[in-house]
């Protein structure tokens, strides 16, 4: 397996790390959860983090945990869209496309929540007060996060980014054609 140290990947894709942590913080603000400390980017492990108070409900905790997945995925796809369309239309790409492609892929690569997110969500889901619906939704989500983290050794985050940024528009075009 082609191995690149995590800090190097984080450095090369730093816009994604910043968006990831900002998404956590934004959702903390939306759910009125106190934030104690935010690190948007560092050359270490983890590349960034948000330390916040325990949310007042399990649902709030769930949305704080999965916010980067939604925000990074949507932003990544939209920023990369002209590059994907140019590729699908087999037209040439310019320097602006290279920039958009790099930012889009970087953002989408950091969509998956970390194992830290998963473990804190796991703790909330196990609590007696957690609603059953949240458990039904939350436990598979935690499982998928752990699976994604395990597969990240096999470039899963990059594969996911490529699939949603370049595969999804092509599938959409095929459906519309």
- Pairing between β-strand 35-39 and β-strand 49-52 as defined by DSSP bridges: antiparallel
Whole-angstrom distance, CA of residue 39 vs CA of residue 84 = 32
Q: Work out how close the CB of 142 gets to other proteins at its nearest, in angstroms, rounded to a whole number.
A: 13
Q: How many CB atoms lie within 10 A of CB 33?
A: 21
18 binds other proteins (CB under 8 A): yes
Should residue 79 be labelled a site residue for other proteins when binding is judged by CB under 8 A?
yes
Nearer CB in complex with other proteins: 153/176 = 176
In the range 80-139, which residues lie near other proteins by CB under 8 A?
80-82, 85-86, 88-91, 96-97, 99-100, 103-104, 107, 113-114, 116-117, 120, 123
Handedness of CA 46, 48, 51, 55 (dihedral sign): negative
Judged by beta carbon, residue 54 or residue 136, the one nearer other proteins is 54
Closest C-alpha among 57, 65, 166, 63 to residue 109: 166
Residue 36: helix, strand or coil by DSSP? strand
Does residue 46 belong to the site contacting other proteins (CB under 8 A)?
yes
Residue number, 1 or 94, with CB nearest to other proteins: 94
Most distant CA atoms of the chain, gap in Å? 57
Residue 33 makes contact with other proteins by CB under 8 A: yes
131 phi-psi bin (left φ>0, alpha ψ -120 to 50, beta other) = beta
Which residues would be at the binding site for other proteins (CB under 8 A)? 15, 18-22, 24-25, 28-29, 32-38, 40, 46, 48-54, 56, 61, 64-65, 75, 78-82, 85-86, 88-91, 96-97, 99-100, 103-104, 107, 113-114, 116-117, 120, 123, 169, 173-174, 176-177
């Amino acid at each position: 397996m082609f191995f690149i140290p995590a800090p190097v990947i984080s450095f090369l894709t730093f816009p994604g790390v910043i968006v990831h942590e900002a998404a956590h913080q934004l959702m903390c603000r939306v759910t009125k959860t106190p934030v104690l400390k935010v690190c948007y980017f560092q050359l270490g492990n983890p590349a960034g983090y948000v330390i916040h108070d325990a949310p007042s409900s399990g649902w709030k905790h769930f949305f704080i945990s999965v916010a980067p997945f939604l925000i990074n995925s949507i932003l990544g796809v939209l920023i990369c869209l002209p590059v994907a369309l140019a590729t699908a239309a087999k037209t040439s790409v310019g320097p602006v496309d290279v920039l958009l492609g790099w930012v889009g892929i970087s953002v989408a690569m950091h969509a998956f929540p970390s194992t830290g997110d998963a473990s804190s969500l796991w703790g909330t889901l196990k609590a007696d007060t957690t609603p059953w619906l949240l458990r039904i939704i939350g436990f598979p989500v935690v499982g998928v996060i752990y699976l994604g983290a395990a597969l990240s050794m096999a470039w899963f985050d990059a594969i996911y980014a490529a699939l949603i940024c370049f595969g999804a528009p092509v599938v959409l075009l095929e459906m519309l054609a």
